[in-house]
């Protein structure tokens, strides 16, 4: 033998020297190639933004339900609705208050010249009030549902984005094996680690988004049902008032039998 070291041995030694055994998250990210880094950054951004939406929805829904309970207590307290309307119409933006205000505004605009005494006019009035309140509900629910599409998108696409990074990391491992002609851990570990790293990031982003989307969709549906129930209650009060109206154009009163 002439003492010459085989070229594949040299390449294996070089590969082993480049791998220091550090498999921490930061080390995996820093040693990953540009494609894997890009995928990882996309998933991290999606996860952070998802958690921002999750916390915002949690705070918003909790506040809305507390306000709704408080308003419903005032609504059924016996206070005349016109006085209640004057008191809350400048209140902070709230779907239930906006729904009530839409109905009262339509009522007051219509009966400013007197409550209609013909059945067809009264039916038309009820329909306009209900339509105004329904439009307000649609508008407010559309505002509340902002961010839900993003959660659904992250939940459905993040695993596939992570899978793309996984495939790319495995390709890097096979390329390392092909170039070094060696299947030692030092050769394949970096690429496989990158692959598992982005797979984990995809799941970290997707799982909370899916859970939050399902949970908040159910809560938003219940809140929308609460608004619809309020419209029905308001319509019933309006109908009772119209049945006993005295043509003086006053706002509906809950005390009307």
Q: What is the pLDDT of residues 54-113, one digit of tens each?
A: 999 999 999 999 999 999 888 888 788 888 888 887 776 789 999 998 888 888 887 766
For the chain, the average pLDDT equals 79
Please tell me the predicted confidence (pLDDT) of residue 5: 39
The Cα–Cα gap between 244 and 248 comes to 11
The answer as to whether 226 is a domain residue is: yes
User: In which domain, by residue range, is 223 found?
Assistant: 22-243
Please report whether residue 249 resides in a domain: no
Contact present, 59 and 97 (Cβ < 8 Å)? no
Is residue 198 within 8 A of residue 143, CB to CB? The reply is no
Rounded to whole angstroms, how far apart are CA atoms 250 and 257?
Answer: 16
Q: Give a yes or no: residue 33 inside a domain.
A: yes
End-to-end CA distance of the chain: 112
Residue 46 lies in a domain: yes
Q: Please indicate, yes or no, if residue 165 is contained in any of the structural domains.
A: yes
In the prediction, which pLDDT does 235 show? Answer: 87
Contact 241, 84 (CB under 8 A): no
Quote the tokens at residue 128.
């306009």
Within 10 angstroms of residue 84's Cβ, the number of other Cβ atoms is: 18
Candidate from 99-108, 137-146, 186-195 with smallest mean pLDDT? 186-195
What six digits make up the tokens of 45? 């951004």
pLDDT of residue 160: 93
Say whether 159 sits in a helix, a strand or coil. Answer: helix
Task: State both tokens at 215.
Answer: 């949970």
Q: What is the pTM of this model?
A: 0.76
The H or E element containing residue 225 is helix 185-243
Contact in structure between 101 and 88 (CB atoms under 8 Å): yes
Give how many domains the chain has, as a whole number: 1
Is 16 contained in some domain? Answer: no
Tell me what pLDDT residue 23 has: 57
Residues 242, 251: Cα–Cα separation, whole Å: 10
Specify if 124 maps to a domain.
yes
Q: Which tokens in the block code for residue 161?
A: 């984005």
pLDDT in tens, 3-22: 443 444 334 444 444 555 55
Closest by Cα among 223, 243, 236, 242 to 63: 223
Within-domain flag for 14: no
What gap in Å lies between CA 219 and CA 247, rounded to an integer?
A: 42
Neighbouring CB atoms inside 10 A of 153's CB total 14
Task: Determine the average pLDDT of the residues in 147-175.
Answer: 88
């Amino acid at each position: 033998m002439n003492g010459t070291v085989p070229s594949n041995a040299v390449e294996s030694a070089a590969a082993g020297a480049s791998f220091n055994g550090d498999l921490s998250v930061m080390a995996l990210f820093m040693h990953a190639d540009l494609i894997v880094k890009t995928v990882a950054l996309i998933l991290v951004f999606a996860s952070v933004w998802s958690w921002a939406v999750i916390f915002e929805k949690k705070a918003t829904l909790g506040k809305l339900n507390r306000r709704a309970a408080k308003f419903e207590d005032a609504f059924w307290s016996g206070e005349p609705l016109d006085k209640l309307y004057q008191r809350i119409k400048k209140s902070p933006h709230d779907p239930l208050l906006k729904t009530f205000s839409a109905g009262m505004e339509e009522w007051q605009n219509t009966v400013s010249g007197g409550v209609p005494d013909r059945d067809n006019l009264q039916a038309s009035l009820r329909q306009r009030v209900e339509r105004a309140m329904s439009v307000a509900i649609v508008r407010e629910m559309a505002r509340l549902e902002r961010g839900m599409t993003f959660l659904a998108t992250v939940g459905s696409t993040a695993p596939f984005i992570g899978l793309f990074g996984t495939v790319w990391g495995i390709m890097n491992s096979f390329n390392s094996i092909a170039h070094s002609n060696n299947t030692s851990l030092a050769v394949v570990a970096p690429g496989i680690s990158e692959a598992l790293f982005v797979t984990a990031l995809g799941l970290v982003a997707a799982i909370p988004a899916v859970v939050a989307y399902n949970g908040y969709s159910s809560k938003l549906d219940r809140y929308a049902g609460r608004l619809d129930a309020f419209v029905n209650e308001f319509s019933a009060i309006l109908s009772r008032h119209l049945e006993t109206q005295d043509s003086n154009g006053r706002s509906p009163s809950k005390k009307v039998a």
